[in-house]
Amino acid sequence: MTPDDRVPPPTTGDERETLRAYLDYHRATLARKCAGLTDEELRDRPMPPSTLSLLGLVRHLAEVERAWFRRVFEDNDLPLVWSDRTDYQAAYDASSSTRAEAFAAWDAEVAHSRRVEAAAPDLDTTGLQPRWGQRVSLRMAMVHVLLEYARHNGHADLLREGIDGTVGA
């Protein structure tokens, strides 16, 4: 595994700073799980019968970032990156994707999410969650995205181990 250059979340701090730091830590964890692998290895599906790949996770989490920050707080009608039907599963099919393509989309969505979060006056700022038809707070969106990363980073652990035997955070 590559050297661990992730910034650990603070042990003290306010709620927003803590949520932001944990989200960034999990974003960095996903990138770390993919580091040093070729496009072919990133597309590998080492855990049959699952069709999940590391590149599919990157694509999926780009969609999650877009859905929970851009679509909720800026443009409810913005299409997803890889689906015009709001099909989050479509992102998992990375069979013809490349690191460059998937990471460019993911990096762009993460950067946009950070701008949306930074521009909000507080964690009680609300936006419309289009799939639910309900208003949600920035706090709820950040926690939801953080939980998505935590869950999928567990998948990334298993996928990376299946690809080249690498284990660890």
Q: What is the pLDDT of residues 137-158, one digit of tens each?
A: 999 999 999 999 999 999 999 9
The domains found in the chain, sorted by start residue, are: 15-164 (1.20.120.450)
Q: What is the mean pLDDT of the chain?
A: 92
Is 72 in a helix, a strand, or coil?
helix
Q: Tell me, what's the pLDDT at 82?
A: 83
Q: Tell me, what's the pLDDT at 51?
A: 86
Please tell me the pTM assigned to this model.
0.93
Q: Distance of CA 13 to CAs 9, 23, 118, 149, 161, Å?
A: 9, 14, 16, 21, 34
Q: Tokens standing for 138?
A: 């920035």
Q: Tell me, what's the pLDDT at 90?
A: 67
Q: Tokens standing for 56?
A: 């599919």
Q: Tell me, what's the pLDDT at 48?
A: 86
Do 92 and 59 touch, CB atoms closer than 8 A? yes
Report which of residues 91 and 135 the model is more confident about: 135
The answer on pLDDT for 88 being more than 90 is no
Mean pLDDT of 111-116: 98
The answer on pLDDT for 168 being more than 80 is no
The DSSP symbol for 135 reads E
Q: How would residue 1 be classed by pLDDT, with cut points 50, 70 and 90? A: low
Do 64 and 23 touch, CB atoms closer than 8 A? no
Do 129 and 136 touch, CB atoms closer than 8 A? yes
pLDDT tens track for 12-23: 989 999 999 999
